[in-house]
């Protein structure tokens, strides 16, 4: 399993769902879809962090993102 990939996907999905939450709240709508996406992204991040034997620290996250991008795009 590639836990780094799951972590990066969860972080990217979380970043992209923030504008949807803000948009829904500014229009006085319930952010149902955005909340579901945030739950999914949080689950991906939590699963990746719990499944990796050594876990992740905040210092490692930028390097993990760069390594995943380099591995799959390069």
pLDDT digits (tens, 9 = 90+) for 7-47: 999 999 999 999 999 999 999 999 999 999 999 999 999 99
What's the pTM? Answer: 0.88
What is the Cα–Cα distance from 38 to 18, expressed in whole angstroms?
Answer: 8
For residue 74, the model assigns a pLDDT of 78
1 pLDDT more than 80: no
Three-state DSSP state, 13: helix
Both tokens assigned to 50: 């719990």
**pLDDT for the residue 56:** 93
Residue 59, number of CB atoms within 10 A of its CB: 7
Report the pLDDT averaged over residues 49-73.
93
Helix (H) or strand (E) holding 42: helix 32-51
Q: Are 16 and 44 in contact (CB under 8 A)?
A: no
pLDDT at 57 over 80: yes
């Amino acid at each position: 399993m590639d836990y780094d990939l799951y972590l990066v996907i969860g972080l990217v999905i979380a970043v992209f769902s923030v504008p949807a939450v803000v948009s829904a709240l500014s229009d006085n709508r319930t952010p149902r879809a955005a909340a579901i996406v945030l739950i999914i992204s949080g689950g991906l991040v939590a699963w990746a962090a719990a499944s990796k034997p050594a876990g992740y620290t905040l210092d490692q996250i930028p390097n993990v993102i760069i390594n995943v991008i380099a591995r799959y795009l390069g």
